[in-house]
């Protein structure tokens, strides 16, 4: 056994190293904490990237105790996916807040009792999630364009583990709005429907119209009523002349080809006629 004096020195050294590896003081607070949510896929974002420390995210419904996201404890990331924690449809109209705590890096002990944190703004999934771009198809009949909108799918699932559409969640509160204009024109018109079918009547027959569709939630505030605009689709222009349809170059090429065929046919006919005359005159000379 070592002398007691050496044991004491070793113990003091060990505790000294432990204290040196224990974080004291404080860490920088998270900045720019914000929510990002599209079709109920919800992320909490912040900055800066941590250097020598980590972040832990806690969230709660108003009036309830905070919970921790299991994937965002002492993380070095600057985003946290809270989709699964906010998926309960019973609470989809309720308001949430979140905090981002600055803590020691994973595995490093700390004597900080209350880590510094930054609180987010309030967030309600039902009123704050952005509705993404819908898809649609259309048919044209005379002076009527019929638009059929396809509901975007969300990040939420029903009891049968099937992804829910925005219609499944918003029900009769969901409308669709179409913005349309004649091709080549800058003037736009808007028409809204409570269903997935929008009919544009009395449009100019044969003219091409360009269409864009977006979801609308009238119960929301004006700044969040409309979702993202779809990609633009245009109906065919049935009034195009032959030059518009095929182009001057293509038509000139066809005309040149036809003229060349006619000229060749005439030349062949002339040559054949001359041969026959020669042959006929030769026979008459022999007789």
Per-residue pLDDT at 11 exceeds 50: no
Q: How many CB atoms lie within 10 A of CB 240?
A: 12
Q: Which of these, 93, 96, 150, 90, lies nearest to 122 by C-alpha position?
A: 96
Q: Which of these, 193, 215, 192, 197, lies nearest to 131 by C-alpha position?
A: 215
As a whole number, the mean pLDDT across the chain is 86
pLDDT reported for residue 10: 46
Confidence of residue 238 (pLDDT cuts 50, 70, 90): confident
- Three-state secondary structure along the chain? CCCHHHHHHHHHHHHHHHHHCCECCCCCCCEEEEEEEECCEEEEEEECCCCCEEEEEEEEECCCCCEECCCCCCECCCEEECCHHHCCHHHCCCCEEEEEEEEECCCCCECCCCCCEEECCCECHHHHCECCCCEEEEEEECCEEEEEEECCEEEEECCCCCEEEHHHHHHHHCEEEEEEEECCCCCCEEEEECCCEEEECCCCCCCCEEEEEEEECCCCCHHHCECCCCCCEECCCCCCCHHHHHCHHHHHHHHHHHHHHHHHHHHHHHHHHHHHHHHHHHHHHHC
pLDDT reported for residue 1: 42
Per-residue pLDDT at 250 exceeds 90: no
Burial code of 252-261, b = ≥16 C-beta within 10 A, e = fewer? eeeeeeeeee
Q: What average pLDDT does the segment 216-243 reach?
A: 86
pLDDT winner (highest mean) among 141-145, 253-257, 268-272:
141-145
pLDDT reported for residue 83: 96
Q: What average pLDDT does the segment 168-196 reach?
A: 94
pLDDT reported for residue 166: 97
Per-residue pLDDT at 186 exceeds 70: yes
Tell me the pLDDT tens digit for each residue of 191-202. Answer: 999 999 999 998
pLDDT reported for residue 126: 97
The mean-pLDDT minimum among 66-75, 148-157, 242-251 falls in 242-251
Tell me the pLDDT tens digit for each residue of 62-100. Answer: 989 999 999 999 999 999 999 999 999 999 999 999 999
Per-residue pLDDT at 168 exceeds 80: yes
The pTM of the full predicted model, rounded to 2 decimals, is 0.72
**CA gap 30, 75 in Å, rounded:** 13
Q: What average pLDDT does the segment 102-116 reach?
A: 84
The mean-pLDDT minimum among 4-13, 19-28, 185-194 falls in 4-13
The domains found in the chain, sorted by start residue, are 4-128 (2.60.40.10), 135-239 (2.60.40.10)
Q: What average pLDDT does the segment 53-57 reach?
A: 96
Q: What average pLDDT does the segment 212-225 reach?
A: 95
């Amino acid at each position: 056994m070592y002398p007691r004096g050496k044991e004491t020195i070793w113990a003091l050294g060990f505790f000294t190293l432990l204290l040196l590896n224990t974080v004291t003081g404080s860490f920088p607070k998270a900045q720019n904490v914000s929510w990002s949510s599209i079709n109920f896929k919800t992320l909490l974002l912040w900055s800066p990237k941590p250097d020598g420390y980590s972040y832990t995210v806690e969230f709660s419904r108003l009036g309830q105790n905070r919970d921790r996201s299991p994937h965002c404890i002492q993380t070095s990331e600057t985003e946290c996916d809270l989709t699964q924690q906010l998926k309960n449809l019973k609470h989809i109209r309720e308001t949430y807040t979140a905090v981002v705590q600055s803590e020691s890096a994973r595995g490093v002990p700390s004597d900080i009792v209350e880590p510094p944190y930054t609180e987010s703004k309030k967030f309600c999934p039902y009123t704050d999630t952005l509705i993404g771009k819908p898809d649609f198809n259309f048919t044209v009949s005379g002076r009527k364009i019929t638009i059929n909108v396809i509901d975007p799918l969300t990040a939420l699932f029903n009891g049968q583990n099937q992804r829910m559409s925005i219609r499944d969640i918003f029900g009769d509160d969901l409308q669709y709005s179409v913005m349309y204009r004649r091709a080549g024109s800058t003037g736009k018109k808007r028409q809204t429907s409570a269903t997935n079918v929008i009919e544009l009547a009395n449009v100019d027959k044969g003219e091409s119209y360009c269409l864009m569709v977006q979801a609308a939630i009238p119960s929301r505030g004006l700044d969040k009523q409309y979702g993202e605009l779809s990609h633009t689709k245009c109906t065919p222009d049935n009034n195009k002349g032959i030059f518009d349809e095929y182009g001057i170059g293509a038509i000139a090429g066809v005309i040149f080809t036809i003229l060349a065929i006619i000229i060749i046919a005439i030349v062949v006919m002339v040559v054949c006629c001359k041969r026959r005359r020669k042959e006929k005159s030769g026979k008459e000379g022999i007789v």
